[in-house]
Structure 1
Amino acid sequence: MMKVERLTLSVEGNTKEVLHGITTQFKQGEMIGLVGPSGGGKSTLLRCLALRDPWTGGDYSWDGKKVISGGGKGSQKYRSKCAYLEQNPSLNPEKTALKNVLIGQVGQTSWIRRMTGMVRSDDYMGAMDELEKFGLLDKAHVKAGKLSGGERQRVAICRALVHGADFIAADEPVIGLDPKSAENVLGTLQDLCKNKGKTVIAALPIELAERYCTRIWGLADGKIELDVTGRRLTESEKRSIDLI
């Protein structure tokens, strides 16, 4: 169980508050769709939950253990358990899908491996296994710059899993993708929750959140105004988060 209490984030020298005392909790195996108007704080909330940005105030605990107390960014121990998927995955376009999975993100791989590209055989097999699970085995030796948008997102997911992520925060992971690619990416995330016990929170268009997610958060003006099980939202619920 992950518990958030009074999460606050201020910017511009602490003069502008963009997240306002958010309190919520979520558990292993949930796939939460984050919906709301542009500028409502979705990306900011995801970055905070994934421990990519420091909190101005609030407490964050995982299974009863404090990750953040009174603000801050959390320890490397917990950051390594989180993955943040951007709209455009930060893959090296000149390296193959396999290399991108193996090398991973800065801070999750030793400096000598980042400098030399050396990998252990068990790392290699683990990466190939993940690529195969996500239908990317035939793309393992293709440069990331040659992959489609959906393939790049799935490579980024593989990388997160190989490096031990239990929680994935995805910031509009299907924006700009064709319907089939979007379906593949969301199906992959859904499978991770159902069958691997991972936790996913993804900023999504409302119709996709309704279709794929077990729970929906509606964020507006830096506050969670709606928290319901995954289903079709009513007109009044959409109005409550400024979506109509």
Structure 2
Amino acid sequence: MIIVRNLTKTFPATGQEVLSRVSFQVDEGELVALLGSSGTGKTTLLRCLSLKESWTSGQYIYDSKDITQLSLLDKWKQQRQWAYLEEKPSLNPNQTAYKNVLPSYVPWWRAMLGMVSTDERITVMDYLEKVGLLDQALEKAEKLSGGEKQRVAVAKALLRGAKVIFADEPVSGLDPESAENVLKDLREICVKEKVVVICILHQVEFAEKYASRIWGLNAGRLVVDIPGRRLTQREKDLIFS
């Protein structure tokens, strides 16, 4: 589904190479965990892949389309078919989980005026149930835990029809149980919905437990690209040395 060849990004002002000839392939249904020390280019890579930042050179193919050759308008259209999850989801704290998700499926003006059909309401509730939040559907976002807020963001992404989700440290700051719940949801979604998830993680043990593929980035280079499993000490040294 995604093929990247020699993706490189250099800051023009300083000449600093942040990403160096990064190459990989990701198939549908994969959950990729991106590991690396602070400052190694993880967020830059995620932002380049989600088209939030440009890159200097390299080829990027998605679903047989060469992203590199698309016009700005077509890139914008493509970007809208994906989802980018921030570390702290942007939700309206005064609205319920249900109302935060609703505009992803129903035009905002109809949602605001209450012009929502029964089928549409049921569909939104179905997606909240997919991420284990059916019981919290009518709870205001301000009362939800960090993990629950992140799962609302996942429901929004799925309801939009996103086939690729880029997640920037989606479990950072969460307690272990909440973090595991979010990652379980993402893994299950990959398997059932054939969605691709590429997420930055700091916890090696979570990557080993939930990822179907693990990437290790060091100094802007992809030094580890393996199926999800326990990392060897040599692989950890390559990533974090």
Q: TM-score, normalised by structure 2?
A: 0.89
Contact 2:31/2:198 (8 A) holds in 1: yes
CA separation in 2, counterparts of 1:60 and 1:71? 14
Q: Distance between the aligned counterparts of 1:74 and 1:17, measured in 2? A: 27
Name the residue aligned to 1:220.
Answer: 218
Aligned residue number for residue 86 of structure 2: 86
Residue identity matched to 2:193: K
Q: Distance in 1 between matches of 2:88 and 2:146?
A: 8
The one of 207, 210, 213 aligned to 1:209: 207
Identify the residue that residue 29 of structure 2 maps to in structure 1: 29
Measure, in 2, the Cα distance between the counterparts of 1:109 and 1:10: 40
CA contact (8 A) 1:84 1:168 kept: yes
Aligned-residue offset at 1:60: 1.4
Alignment of 1:154-165 (within 5 A): 154-165=151-162
Change (3 A) 1:52 1:111: farther
Q: Name the amino acid aligned to 1:37.
A: S
Q: Is the 2:33–2:199 contact (alpha carbons within 8 Å) kept by the matching residues of 1?
A: yes
Following the alignment from structure 1 to structure 2, what is the Cα–Cα distance between the partners of residues 73 and 211? 39
Distance 1:162 1:223, change over 3 A: same
Match of 1:129 among 106, 111, 126: 126
Paired residues of 2:9 and 2:18 also in contact (CA < 8 A): yes
Displacement of 1:118 after TM fit?
Answer: 5.3
More helix by proportion, 1 or 2? 2
Aligned to 1:185: 182
Q: What is the CA–CA distance in structure 2 between the aligned matches of 1:76 and 1:14, rounded to whole Å?
A: 28
What root-mean-square deviation, in Å, do the aligned CA atoms of Structure 1 and Structure 2 show?
2.4
The structural deviation recorded for 1:75 is 1.9
Structure 2 CA distance for partners of 1:55 and 1:123, relative to 1, 3 Å? farther
Q: 1:59 touches 1:70 (CA, 8 Å); kept in 2?
A: no
Give per-residue Cα distances to partners, 1:166-214, cap 9 Å, x unaligned.
0111111111111111111010001011121111111111111011111
TM (norm. structure 1) is: 0.88
Aligned to 1:44: 44
Deviations 1:34-77, CA, capped at 9 Å, x for gaps: 11111111111112212222333322112221223399796233
Unpaired runs of 5+ residues, structure 2, are none
Give the fraction of aligned pairs with identical amino acids, expressed as a percent.
48
Q: Is residue 80–residue 163 contact of structure 1 (8 Å, CA) maintained in 2?
A: no
- Residue segments in structure 1 that go unaligned for 5+ positions in a row: none
* Residues 17, 132 of structure 1: alpha-carbon distance in 2 compared, 3 angstrom cutoff: same
Q: Secondary structure at the match of 1:218?
A: strand
User: Is residue 52 of structure 2 the alignment partner of residue 55 of structure 1?
Assistant: no
Q: Which residue of 1 aligns with 2:237?
A: 239
Preserved CA contact (<8 Å) 2:91 2:141: yes
Number of paired residues?
239
